[in-house]
Amino acid sequence: MRDEDQLYDVVDALVEIGEGHGVSAAQVAIAWLLTRPGIVSVIVGARTDEQLEDNLGAAELELSDEELGRLEELSRPPLLYPHWHQAKTASDRLSPADLALLGAHL
């Protein structure tokens, strides 16, 4: 874990968004993960029937663009070298591949 404060900021947002939808933070987390690029499935590790039922409810949960953006922003890791250097000094000549990684940081 790089930043414990960042972790708690994400958890607080998951709880707040969940309260707004009347669902658990776990459902919000799973629904959010299902929208992430490159994520094709989520493994649910429920220990009880109630937990499994709650987790499966995430499949029906639709998060708004604002909620997704908030979670993305809060969870985005800081750029490591050399990526922060590229973003700072070469942002006008980045390739599409570079922009896939750096675009959100520009």
Mean confidence (pLDDT) of the chain: 92
Residue 103 has pLDDT above 90, yes or no: no
Q: What is the pLDDT of residue 60?
A: 95
- Other Cβ atoms closer than 10 A to 87: 19
CB-CB contact of 32 with 44 (8 Å): no
What are phi and psi for residue 50, nearest 5 degrees?
-65, -40
54-90 confidence digits (pLDDT tens): 999 999 999 999 999 999 999 988 888 888 898 889 9
Q: What total number of domains does the chain contain?
A: 2
Q: Is residue 35 domain-shared with residue 85, that is, in the same domain?
A: no
* Range(s) of the domain holding residue 88: 79-106
CB-CB contact of 70 with 9 (8 Å): no
Q: Is residue 89 domain-shared with residue 44, that is, in the same domain?
A: no
Residue 1 has pLDDT above 80, yes or no: no
Q: Is residue 68 domain-shared with residue 84, that is, in the same domain?
A: no
Q: Is residue 61 domain-shared with residue 84, that is, in the same domain?
A: no
Q: Is residue 14 domain-shared with residue 46, that is, in the same domain?
A: yes
Q: What is the pTM of this model?
A: 0.78
Q: Is residue 27 domain-shared with residue 56, that is, in the same domain?
A: yes
